[in-house]
C-alpha cells in the first residue's frame, strides 16, 4: 500500500475498512459477488501482510461455487497468525421488526 505519487498512480493495495473489536484488528473486504479475481486476491493478501490484522473478514452478498476454493486459497496465503472469516449475506437473517 504505497501512497500514490500522482493522481494517475494506482495504489498497490487497498482495504474497505479496518476496525478494532475487543482489542483485535479486523481488516474488512466487502464484495457484491461471491469471489475475488486473481488481482483482488493478491491485493487482499498484500494488504494483510502489511497491516498484520488479527482477522481478515471477507463479506460476500452471495455464496457461489468458487467461494470454498477461494476461501482455501486465501487461508493458505495469509500470514501466520492471521485468521480468515467469510461472511455471506442472507436476507432471511434480517430482522423485520425495527424496534423490540
- pLDDT band of residue 89 (cuts 50, 70, 90) is confident
User: What is the C-alpha separation between 82 and 69, in angstroms, rounded?
Assistant: 18
- Tell me what pLDDT residue 8 has: 62
Which element (helix H / strand E) includes 51? helix 38-51
User: What is the C-alpha separation between 52 and 55, in angstroms, rounded?
Assistant: 9
- Tell me what pLDDT residue 77 has: 95
Chain segment 23-74, per-residue pLDDT in tens: 999 999 988 776 788 888 899 999 999 999 999 999 888 777 777 888 889 9
In terms of Cβ atoms closer than 10 Å to its own Cβ (0-12, 13-18, 19+), residue 95 is exposed
C-alpha cell at 12: 498497490
Chain segment 67-84, per-residue pLDDT in tens: 788 888 999 999 999 999
User: What is the C-alpha separation between 95 and 77, in angstroms, rounded?
Assistant: 36
Amino acid at each position: 500500500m504505497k501512497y500514490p505519487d500522482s493522481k494517475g498512480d494506482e495504489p498497490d493495495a487497498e482495504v474497505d475498512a479496518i476496525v478494532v473489536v475487543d482489542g483485535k484488528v479486523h481488516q474488512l473486504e466487502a464484495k457484491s459477488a461471491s469471489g475475488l479475481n486473481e488481482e483482488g486476491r493478491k491485493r487482499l493478501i498484500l494488504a494483510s501482510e502489511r497491516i498484520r490484522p488479527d482477522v481478515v473478514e471477507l463479506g460476500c452478498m452471495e455464496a457461489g461455487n468458487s467461494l470454498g476454493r477461494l476461501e482455501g486459497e486465501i487461508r493458505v496465503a495469509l500470514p501466520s497468525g492471521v485468521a480468515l472469516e467469510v461472511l455471506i449475506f442472507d436476507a432471511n437473517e434480517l430482522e423485520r421488526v425495527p424496534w423490540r
